[in-house]
Structure 1
Amino acid sequence: MKIKCVDVVPLQIPFEDGSPGEGLMPTKWTKLDFALVRIETENGLVGWGDGFAYSCRRATVAAIEDMVAPLLAGRELGDLAALNLELQQRLHLHGRYGITTFAISAVDIALWDLKAKAEGVSLARLLGERPATSLPAYASLVRYGAPDLVRSFGAKVVEEGYRTVKLHEIALEAIAAGREGVGASTKMSTDVNCNWSLEQARKIMPEMKRLDLYWVEEPVFPPDDAAVLGELQSEYGVPIASGENACTAVEFARTAPAIRYLQPSVTKVGGVSEFLKVCDLAEAQGAKIMPHAPYFGPGYWATLQLMAARGICEQFEHLYIAPDAYLDPSIPLPENGMVAVPDRPGIGFEPDPAVLDRYRI
């Protein structure tokens, strides 16, 4: 089965989240960017993927079109992990990680989608003998900044049935307000996005212990300093999570022995092929996988399939926002803190052409 063509569909979909829209991205964040990939084989089968595109859509699209797609035309669908490594090697002059790997991630997801479709099974069934049919999901709240907003949104998602909540707050007052909102029995974490200095982290980590955090995510910069992250985890007794910005299993090999939760992001790490390697690495080191998945395109669906196939993955991340539209209206959203895993062939994603036409850039 040969690849006939690789096409990229750049998209942008507005969303609402009840926040000022500031703090998580370099600029105000009110729109979801997509670098959607469509790969068609010579026999008419279509696979879908996407590469990380938030605030970097044009760069990711260009990398797919100019660097990756020309290397795929006419190729046979064979050993996808080997093809992934070949792409990494042939493109390493453009940078081992970042945008190059985002582009490789996009096509790798689409190729695995095709492989499972060719077998007539879901990706989860292709990868696992007895995949899960539903997964625990946590509400990943945006950064609100104001303690009253953190408190009210925390209470809101708990009322909706979530049993785990992640904040993106960096101030102690806001994190404490989150605990008040979600209550003592709800698991709660916070993603610091590398905003604390090491000195600040040492002052605030005892409070994270007092507030019984499930994990603290990327507390300091750089987020892959295994020695510092491991020291914070062991000294203060709060699990540390990191890895959402890491590319390939090579980067995770540094942090896997030191921290509790590894966070591969399928649209960044190198796609399905590298995500699976990170799972193997975590199993070997006694860590757990807490995937990074604040997405609503193929990355969302691929993450569900991978988690269903690999039991080492703990909870599914659902970004708590309201997009104007979903690329695939049948997207399985969490209900009462659980999300169903689609059992359609491939990753289960089939976009609505009308949505693509409306939001195409």
Structure 2
Amino acid sequence: MRITSVETSVVALPFTMGGPHPLFAGRPWEKLEILLVRVETEDGLVGWGEAFGHAAIPATKAALDTIVAPLVLGRDARAIETLTRELMHATHLLGRNGAHLYAVSGVEIALWDLLGKRAGQPVWALLGGRERASLPAYASLLSYGNDLGLVARNTADARRVGYRHIKLHEVTREAVLVAKEAAPDAAIMLDVNCAWMPPVARDMAASLADDGLYWLEEPVWPPEDSHGLAGLRRHGIPLSAGENTAGMFGFKALVEAGAIDIAQPSVTKVGGIGEMLRVFRLCQAHGVEVVPHCPYFGPGFVATLHIAAALCERPLVEVLWLEMEANPFDPWVRARDGHVAVPKGPGLGCDPDPAILARYLAAPPVRTEAKVAA
């Protein structure tokens, strides 16, 4: 079934986060932006994907509209692996990580949505999974600039509404201790977003060694310094990384260096669902747990639900700790009592609400299409 159009659009959703909005890439981050990818085939069936993301949306959208979308027109939407490999090869001179890979990821997710709809099966079933009503989630707090009062309050609030795992985005041991006091029966994770060069990271890991962290995420700059990351293992804290890692071979470098206990591939960045499968197989062969990175708000988040439901032995889904004014993919992008529901419908199982899409549209959609001969 051939692809007749690819359409990109951006929705911007106002949100609150239990504190002042942070700066992101030099500007206030006050709205959640979703870069949606809509792929239609000649029989009128539509699949939805999401491409990364955040302040990179203009670059990713340009890559989609000008390069990736024209390459997929007229292609068989069912041949996902072949098409994705050829897209990656066609764009590899433009960078093996970044906007073009993100663009391919968004298209690839939409193709899986189409595949499931055509087969009448949810993606988790296509991946060989069993039906699960819901999955446990963890609250991923945003950064409060080391305001310990806000760290304590939001940690306590997250525990009160049912989260048993809570992740901080801070860079001090004091924040960890405050969070542990605020929610003593919760597992606390710390994500420092590649804050430290290896010598400082080793000192920080030593200071955190006895604090019972569930994991320490991306402690080393730059993130591709797998041996620098591996040097922290001796402190006994489980180490996680992978949201900035390029594809299965990037994870192969982390695994072979003995750098991680937990791999965190991101479906909207790594190349889509098929590349996630390859990362899972690699990690399973080497005894490394996979907990997908997914602080997203649309099809990327929903695709992660299907992946986690099918492939994770101990699923744990990342949910950003914030309150959206609305979301076109409600209710599937929200947690309740520390859990997220898994769609049972075919494909991703949740097309967006067109009224909410229209209400929060940030710019007119861009449609790339071609007439396909019969």
TM-score normalised per structure 1: 0.96
Give the aligned partner of residue 287 of structure 2. 286
After TM superposition, list the pairs within 5 Å mapping 1:225-244 onto structure 2. 225-233=225-233, 235-244=234-243
Alpha carbons of structure 1 residues 35 and 313: separation in structure 2 relative to 1, 3 Å:
farther
How far apart, CA to CA, are the structure 2 residues paired with 1:313 and 1:37?
Answer: 30
Equivalent in the alignment of 1:305: 306
Q: 1:36-75 alignment to 2 at 5 Å?
A: 36-75=36-75
When structure 1 is superposed on structure 2, of 223-232 and 195-204 the one drifting more is 195-204
Deviation larger for 240-249 or 212-221? 240-249
Give the match's secondary structure for 2:28: coil
Deviations 1:139-192 (A, max 9, x none): 000011201110111111111111111000102222221111121x31111100
Query: How far apart, CA to CA, are the structure 1 residues paired with 2:16 and 2:115?
Result: 36
Contact 1:51 1:60 in 2 (8 A): yes
Match of 1:127 in 2: 127
- 1:139–1:128 CA distance, 2 compared to 1 (3 A): same
| 1:274-314 Cα deviation digits (max 9, x unpaired) | 11111111101110111111111101100000111103463
Alignment of 1:317-336 (within 5 A): 317-331=318-332, 333-336=334-337
> 2:371: which partner in 1?
none
CA-CA distance at 1:247 after TM superposition: 2.4
Structure 2: state its 5+ residue gaps: 363-374
Which residue is 2:370 aligned to? none
- After superposing the two structures, state which structure 1 stretch, 323-332 or 160-169, moved more: 323-332
Give the deviation of 1:204 after TM superposition: 1.9
CA–CA separation in structure 2 for the residues paired with 1:12 and 1:332: 15
Helix, strand or coil at the partner of 1:55: helix
For residues 197 and 77 of structure 2, what CA distance do their matches in structure 1 show? 47
Aligned-residue Cα RMSD (Å) equals: 1.5
Checking the alignment, whether the CA contact within 8 Å between 2:63 and 2:99 is kept in structure 1 is: yes
- Match for residue 208 of structure 1? 208
Q: Is the 8 A contact 2:291 2:312 kept in 1?
A: no
Structure 1 segment 184-263 matched on structure 2, within 5 A: 185-233=185-233, 235-257=234-256, 258=258, 259-263=260-264
Identity in percent: 42
Change (3 A) 1:62 1:324: same
SS at match of 1:256: helix
Q: Which amino acid aligns with 2:173?
A: L
Q: Per-residue deviation at 1:131? A: 4.4
Cα distance in 2 for partners of 1:324, 1:268 equals: 26
C-alpha contact 1:224 1:243 (8 A) present in aligned 2: no
| CA apart distance, 1:266 | 0.6
Question: Which residue of the partner structure matches residue 367 of structure 2?
Answer: none
Opposite residue 158 of structure 1, the aligned amino acid is R
User: Partners in 1 of 2:226 and 2:215 — Cα distance?
Assistant: 16
Cα distance, 1:198–1:27 mapped onto 2, change above 3 Å: farther
Q: Supply the AA of the counterpart residue of 1:189.
A: M
> Do the aligned residues in 1 keep the contact of 2:202 with 2:231 (CA within 8 Å)?
no
| Residues 334 and 343 of structure 1, relative CA distance in 2, 3 Å threshold | same
Partners of 1:139 and 1:162 within 8 A in 2: yes
How many residues align? The count is 359
Match of 1:296 in 2: 297
- The 5-angstrom pairing of residues 132-147 of structure 1 reads 132-144=132-144, 145-147=146-148
- Distance in 1 of aligned mates of 2:131 and 2:286: 23
Q: Distance in 2 between matches of 1:107 and 1:49?
A: 6
In the alignment, which residue of structure 1 is the partner of 2:166? 165
Letter in 2 for 1:256: V
Give the drift of 1:356: 1.4
Decide which moves more: 249-258 or 125-134: 125-134
Larger mean Cα displacement after TM superposition, 197-206 or 321-330: 197-206
Instruction: Tell me: CA distance 1:313–1:111, structure 2 relative to 1, closer, same or farther (3 Å).
Output: farther
- For the residue of structure 1 that corresponds to 2:124, the secondary structure is helix
Partners of 1:197 and 1:21 lie apart in 2 by: 27
Equivalent in the alignment of 2:80: 80
- Closer, same or farther in 2 for the Cα pair 1:162/1:201, shift >3 Å? same
The change in CA–CA distance for 1:209 and 1:132 in structure 2 (over 3 A counts) is: farther
> 1: distance between equivalents of 2:249 and 2:333?
32
Residue type of the alignment partner of 1:305 = H
Structure 1 residue identity aligned to 2:59? A
Alpha-carbon distance in structure 2 between the residues aligned to 1:81 and 1:283: 21
- The residue that corresponds to 1:182 in the other structure is 183
| Cα shift at 1:260 | 0.5
Q: What is the DSSP-based 3-state SS (H/G/I as helix, E as strand, rest coil) of the residue aligned with 1:7?
A: strand
Asked if 2 retains the 8 angstrom alpha-carbon contact of 1:296 and 1:327, the reply is no
Deviates more, 1:170-179 or 1:159-168: 170-179
User: Per the alignment, do residues 175 and 97 of structure 1 end up closer, same or farther by CA in structure 2, a change over 3 Å counting?
Assistant: same
In structure 2, do the counterparts of structure 1 residues 29 and 103 end up closer, same or farther at CA, with 3 Å as the change threshold? same
